[in-house]
């Protein structure tokens, strides 16, 4: 199967940069959120629509990012 | 690939697409786990899980030679097989696998430029079926480990004290300064934030274009020359767990041809937990390297 409708967009989540990637493979939409500058995967989800995939990935990313502490340097 | 020191170590997505049925080529997707592979992968690709197959599950180390040999044989890889590695996160874990394969002496291993991201963004076919290894491959025989490309703690401590190597910290600027102790959203896995005193902060991503491919050799040269890296400069790369730094290790050794580069896989999860280890916070200070 060919992946289709590949898209990437960058948004701010509570002060953190998040890169949202989505694409469709067959009937499923796949979503991934990463933390941009390090680039580590925060969430990887499957959904029935792009909107759902983005929302699920963002929800999980937001949960994880809320645990990150900033330290004075 | 023009101008790279070892262009044979890199292949394009087009090259991979045209070698899917080549019996001498084995493609492997490598990631921290196999979740991305399960979504869909390059047809015929095997999957390697960094956490369980490239790292020893008991002690913190790369897998032992015999475990490595089993992984190769089980993946349908012979000593003469051309292995093409790719993965998510701009090939971080593929670069680790490349480094580990070179430690164990595999001759022909290559990285797919741009990794999984580029393959998918180009709408190239993905397969969702698990792949069975080629049963006809004879048992793999690994070389004794080449530890010249791996830096262990004592070597890094010595290099730091004597300024005998350029230390390249490839984490994000916020990790380098100590503002955060791990990449945003990931668990804090160290007791102290900051960097090894004297290290240069050069985030791994500076070596990549937006599409995940490596930058041209002229651009890469400018980035690392500005940090004091020349062909004969001893260099040690590190990050948090050693996967991002294997990416930069690949850039320096195989794209720029720096002769003496090693990857400190203990990285910040080792140094940032050491009792009495020197740590610097904030921006880097200028250090001369002897």
> Is the ipTM above a cut-off of 0.90?
yes
CA distance B143 to chain A (A): 32
Residue B286 has a pLDDT of 53
Residue A27 is classified by DSSP as T
Q: Check CB contact under 8 Å for A42 and B185.
A: yes
A25-46: average pLDDT: 93
**Cβ within 8 Å of residue B245, ≥6 positions away:** B168, B170, B204, B237, B238, B239, B263, B264, B265, B267
Tokens of A33: 């959120």
Residue A46 has a pLDDT of 97
User: What is each CA distance from B143 to B69, B104, B110, B147, B170, in whole angstroms?
Assistant: 10, 5, 18, 11, 29
Residue B53 has a pLDDT of 96
> Hey, what domains does chain B have and what are their CATH numbers?
7-145 (3.40.250.10), 148-271 (3.40.250.10)
Residue B285 has a pLDDT of 62
B190 among known catalytic residues: no
| Location of structure tokens 């380098």 | B176
C-beta separation of B183 from A16 below 8 A: no
Minimal Cβ distance to A23: which of B120, B193, B204: B120
Residue B10 has a pLDDT of 98
Residue B290 has a pLDDT of 43
Mean pLDDT, consecutive 10-residue segments, chain B of 290 residues? 92 98 96 91 96 96 97 96 96 98 98 97 94 78 97 98 97 96 93 97 96 97 96 97 97 98 98 97 66
3-state secondary structure of B170: coil
Q: How far is Cα B245 from Cα B130, in angstroms, rounded to an integer?
A: 30
Q: Check CB contact under 8 Å for B193 and A73.
A: yes
Nearest C-alpha in B relative to A67: B185
Supply φ then ψ for residue A52, to 5 degrees. Answer: -65, -40
Residue B131 has a pLDDT of 82
| Tens-place pLDDT, residues A15-34 | 999 999 999 999 999 999 99
Share of chain A above pLDDT 90, in %: 93
Residue B130 has a pLDDT of 81
Residue B2 has a pLDDT of 73
DSSP codes of every residue in B11-47: E-HHHHHTTTT-TTEEEEEEESSSHHHHH-BSTT-EE
């Amino acid at each position: 199967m060919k992946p289709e409708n590949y898209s990437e967009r960058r948004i701010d989540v509570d002060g953190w940069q998040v890169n949202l990637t989505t694409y469709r493979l067959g009937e499923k939409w796949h979503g991934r959120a990463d933390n941009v500058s390090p680039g580590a995967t925060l969430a990887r989800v499957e959904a029935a629509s792009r909107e759902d995939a983005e929302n699920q990935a963002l929800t999980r990313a937001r949960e994880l990012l809320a645990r990150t502490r900033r330290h004075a340097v | 690939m023009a101008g790279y020191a070892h262009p044979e170590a890199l292949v394009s997505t087009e090259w991979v697409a045209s070698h899917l049925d080549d019996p001498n080529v084995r493609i492997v997707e490598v990631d921290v786990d196999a979740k991305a592979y399960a979504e869909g992968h390059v047809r015929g690709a095997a999957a390697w899980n960094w956490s369980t197959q490239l790292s020893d599950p008991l002690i913190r180390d790369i897998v032992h030679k015999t475990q490595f040999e089993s992984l190769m044989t089980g993946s349908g890889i012979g000593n003469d097989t051309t292995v093409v590695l790719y993965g998510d996160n701009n090939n971080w874990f593929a670069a680790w696998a490349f480094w580990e394969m070179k430690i164990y002496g595999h001759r022909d291993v290559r990285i797919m430029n741009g990794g999984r991201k580029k393959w998918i963004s180009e709408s190239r076919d993905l397969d969702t079926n698990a792949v069975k290894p080629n049963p006809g491959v004879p048992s793999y025989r690994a070389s004794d480990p080449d530890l010249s490309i791996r830096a262990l703690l004592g070597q890094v401590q010595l290099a730091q004290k004597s300024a005998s190597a350029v230390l390249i910290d490839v984490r994000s600027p916020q990790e380098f300064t100590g503002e955060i102790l791990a990449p945003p959203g990931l668990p804090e896995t160290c007791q102290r934030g900051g960097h090894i005193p004297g290290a240069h902060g050069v985030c791994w991503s500076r070596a990549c274009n937006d599409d995940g491919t490596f930058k041209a050799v002229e651009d890469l040269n400018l980035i690392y020359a500005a940090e004091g890296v020349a062909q004969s400069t001893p260099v040690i790369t590190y990050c948090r767990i050693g996967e991002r730094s294997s990416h930069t290790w690949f850039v320096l050794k195989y794209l720029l041809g720096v002769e003496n580069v090693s990857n400190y896989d203990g990285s910040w999860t080792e140094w940032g937990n050491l009792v009495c280890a020197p740590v610097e916070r904030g921006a880097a200070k200028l250090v001369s390297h002897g």
